[in-house]
Amino acid sequence: MRFRDYVKDHLWPIGGYVLCVGLAAIIIWLDPQHRVKISTLWYAVLLVTLVASAFFVAHFSRVRRFTTQLHARQEAKDAALDWPLPGGESGMEEVVADTYNQMLTLHRQQITALLAQQQDQKDFIDSWVHEIKVPLAAVSLLAESFEGQVPDDKLDNLNLQLDQIEFYVEQVLYYSRLDSFSKDYLLHNTPLKSLVNDVVASQRNGFISKRLSFKLNGEDQTVLTDNKWLRFILAQLISNAVKYTPEGGRISATIRNTGKETQLMITDTGIGIPKDEQHRVFEKGFTGSNGRISNHKSTGLGLFLAEKLSEKLGHHLTLTSVINQGTTVTIHFPYVSYYSDPGQTVHHPKTNREQSANS
């Protein structure tokens, strides 16, 4: 706290002091017998003012010590949530300190209760996802037993709907694990071509039902990532491409090495995204105008999850789109500086033992 701020906050007491001293001096001066000389009166006023100023400065020092502690907690931000305030030297400071500490205690209690509730919900979702997979697997087997007994178009539609249910179940599971990502990932070398082909094969019913073609371009590249989480990211991107591409359209994946990073581009010939909406496509729950179309209903979670998981893996997504021409979503895999070989996203340096063995 600055001294001028302190003076500004105490204008009323200072004004009261000046008024009282002035009234006392006037009363003494108006004494009919003039028993006090004017010089003595001025000396008394000056002496009282100096003593009052000393008390004033001492009080300012005490207040500044307390406000310094408050400012320190203000600058600490989140760290101040576990930083109680010691008791003050005055009654007012004690009230402020007690109120502050009580709010901290209540906040910790609420956070603890909220985390416990959130963990309970996560445990329930995880359990529900694993439980629902059992009847889904049973229905899939039952659908396979219907081959040759029901029309192919109806059986294909049933399989497509089962794929959609399984897709959304997986989306719920990965969304619930978003906050605990650090406990469930393993980075290793992953060839992109085989992974892309596996994801496309898992969504073959969607491609068949809409008669979509697929092409994989570019030379294979190996990147440092988590296979499971990247597979989920690709599933979200390819599912979006299938959903918003008209029948007979094309979807392609292109692998490219720019010299600074590896890029995997998923391109479709779909309906595109309006330019004024493109900066919001990675926001949670944003469905845009396309997501409101009756046959393109969207949860607004697919691209949000893909972007968040990409960031956690050290990748990032970009999107370009033109209305009625299509959309391209690019996954960027920056080269890891630790694996310093140029042109490689992952290359473990040889250890001293390996170098000795080769020599």
Asked if residue 239 belongs to a domain, the reply is: yes
Average pLDDT score, the chain: 83
Structural domain boundaries, residue 55: 3-83
Look at residues 83, 113, 141 and tell me which one is the last residue of a structural domain: 83
**What domain count does the chain have?**
2
- What does the DSSP assignment read for 130-160? HHHHHHHHHHHHHHHHTTTTS-HHHHHHHHH
The dihedral sign for the CA sequence 26, 28, 32, 34:
negative
Asked if residue 222 belongs to a domain, the reply is: yes
Reference 83, options 110, 104, 65; nearest CA is 104
Check which CATH number belongs to the domain holding 305 and give it. 3.30.565.10
Q: What is the pLDDT of residues 332-351, one digit of tens each?
A: 999 865 544 444 454 444 44
* pLDDT, greater one: 154 or 321: 321
Q: What is the pLDDT of residues 113-151, one digit of tens each?
A: 988 887 888 788 878 888 888 888 888 888 888 887 888
Q: What is the pLDDT of residues 37-46, one digit of tens each?
A: 788 888 888 8
Q: Which residues contact 133 (CB under 8 A, 6 or more apart)?
A: 166, 169
Asked if residue 125 belongs to a domain, the reply is: no
Asked if residue 270 belongs to a domain, the reply is: yes
- What does the DSSP assignment read for 263-301? EEEEEE-S----GGGGGGTTSTT--TTGGGSGGG---S-
Contact in structure between 104 and 81 (CB atoms under 8 Å): yes
Range 272-308 burial, b when 16+ CB lie within 10 A, else e: bbeeeeeeebbeeeebbebbeeeebebeebbbbbbbb
203 & 328 share domain: yes
Judged by phi (left if over 0) then psi (alpha if -120 to 50, else beta), residue 235 lies in alpha
77 & 208 share domain: no
Asked if residue 132 belongs to a domain, the reply is: no
Asked if residue 281 belongs to a domain, the reply is: yes
Among 110-124, 291-305, 345-359, the range scoring the smallest mean pLDDT is: 345-359
DSSP type of residue 317 = E
Q: What is the pLDDT of residues 13-36, one digit of tens each?
A: 888 888 888 888 888 877 777 677
Asked if residue 141 belongs to a domain, the reply is: no
Is the pTM higher than 0.95? The answer reads no
Report pLDDT for 343. 46
The dihedral sign for the CA sequence 72, 78, 83, 84:
positive
Asked if residue 244 belongs to a domain, the reply is: yes
Give the mean model confidence (pLDDT) for residues 169-174: 83
Report pLDDT for 182. 62
Q: What is the pLDDT of residues 315-324, one digit of tens each?
A: 999 999 999 8
**CA 268 to CA 329: how far, in whole Å?**
9
